Amino acid sequence: MILKGKKGIIFGALNDQSLAWLVAEQCVAEGAQIVLTNAPVAFRMGGGIQRLAENLNCKAIPADATKVEDLEKLIDEATETLGGKIDFVLHSIGMSLNIRKNRKYTDLQYGWMQKTMDISAMSFHKLMQVLYKKEAMNDWGSILALTYIGAQRTFPHYSEMAEAKALLESFARSFGYYFGNEHKVRVNTISQSPTRTTAGSGIDSFDKFFAYAEEMSPLGNAPALDCAKYCISLFSDYTRYVTMQNLFHDGGFSNMGMSANMMDNFNFEPAKEEETVEE
């Protein structure tokens, strides 16, 4: 029970495929007390955040992560419910309006792009700023967000989410400095393999992304449950000096150039030697 006595807030459990859903279950299994939260619309979608809350015997509080006033209310209510300051927080939020509305990267609608940045990246800064100002984190606490290697490398169809994730990862580094100095709180991002969830499957040709990463990674794609377990390790006291990092949880994908598995997909006929015509 490596989280025994710890209190946390988990953002982003939409349905039982959500990475946050599995993290929430693992937190409770490891002895933590948690509060769940998601956008108000997720509560109306019947995906089951209330069902998860019942199963885990915890409270679920609606909050739009782009609204500072919602976040302020959430943090007040969560600290009251949990009976003290917070030890860990998971930001597991991502959404692209341009992807959802099938706009190509070369024809983006900028109003939607701003909204994408707000939901997928600025919400992380807003959350940390609210926690910081309210001094809501316990010393040696841990704040974590989920990201994807599209922040560093270009993939077709990942579109504006590439920039959103780059911004998210940068916020972890920058706020990690202030949180570390003032409160010994660590801030990291986990860069997860492609995973079949609502957000993941929203990317065009997701199955090809998934299959490509599977072929390239020596360990194969990291499953959702293993991602949840990695999150738990980062909330625990076993990782107290890890901060301002983007941590790849991807079966080795990020350090690969080419794999033998992938090469087998290109079985070209050996080039025939040109016949030389003797004079």
Ligand X SMILES: NC(=O)c1ccc[n+]([C@@H]2O[C@H](COP(=O)([O-])OP(=O)(O)OC[C@H]3O[C@@H](n4cnc5c(N)ncnc54)[C@H](O)[C@@H]3O)[C@@H](O)[C@H]2O)c1
Asked if 95 touches ligand X (CB under 6 A), the answer is yes
Report the C-alpha gap between 260 and 218 in whole angstroms.
10
Residue choice 3, 10, 14, 28 for contact with ligand X (CB under 6 A)? 14
Residue choice 18, 79, 188, 245 for contact with ligand X (CB under 6 A)? 18
For ligand X, the closer CB: 141 or 194: 194
- Single out the catalytic residue among 110, 132, 148, 238: 148
Report the C-alpha gap between 178 and 187 in whole angstroms.
10
What residues contact residue 49 under an 8 Å CB cut-off, 6+ apart? 13, 14, 36, 38, 42, 43, 60
Count of residues touching ligand X (by CB under 6 A):
27
Do residues 164 and 116 lie in contact, with contact meaning Cβ atoms separated by under 8 Å?
yes
For ligand X, the closer CB: 161 or 183: 161
User: Scanning the structure block, which residue is given the tokens 């919602």?
Assistant: 70
Do residues 31 and 4 lie in contact, with contact meaning Cβ atoms separated by under 8 Å?
yes
> Is 110 noted as a catalytic residue in this protein?
no
Burial of 16 (0-12, 13-18, 19+ CB in 10 A): middle
Q: Which of residues 102-131 bind ligand X (CB under 6 A)?
A: 119
Q: Which of residues 203-242 bind ligand X (CB under 6 A)?
A: none
For ligand X, the closer CB: 48 or 180: 48
Question: Which of 232, 247, 244, 248 shows the shortest CA–CA distance to 128?
Answer: 244
DSSP helix/strand/coil, 34:
strand
Q: Which of residues 28-87 bind ligand X (CB under 6 A)?
A: 38-39, 42, 64-66
> Is 148 noted as a catalytic residue in this protein?
yes
For ligand X, the closer CB: 124 or 179: 124
Angle at 100 between CA 97 and CA 105, to 5 degrees: 75
Residue choice 26, 33, 79, 92 for contact with ligand X (CB under 6 A)? 92
Residue choice 53, 93, 97, 113 for contact with ligand X (CB under 6 A)? 93
Report the C-alpha gap between 115 and 72 in whole angstroms.
20
Report the C-alpha gap between 264 and 68 in whole angstroms.
51
In the shown chain, the binding pattern of residues 129 to 168 toward ligand X, with x for contact by CB under 6 A and - for none, equals -----------------xxx--------------------
Residue choice 8, 94, 176, 251 for contact with ligand X (CB under 6 A)? 94
For ligand X, the closer CB: 183 or 230: 230
Half-sphere exposure of 219 (CA within 13 A, CB side): 13
Closest distance to ligand X from the beta carbon of 185 (Å): 20
Q: Which of residues 171-200 bind ligand X (CB under 6 A)?
A: 192, 194-195, 197-200
Report the C-alpha gap between 177 and 187 in whole angstroms.
9
DSSP helix/strand/coil, 197:
coil
Give catalytic residue positions: 148, 158
Residues at the interface with ligand X (CB under 6 A): 11-12, 14, 18-20, 38-39, 42, 64-66, 92-95, 119, 146-148, 192, 194-195, 197-200
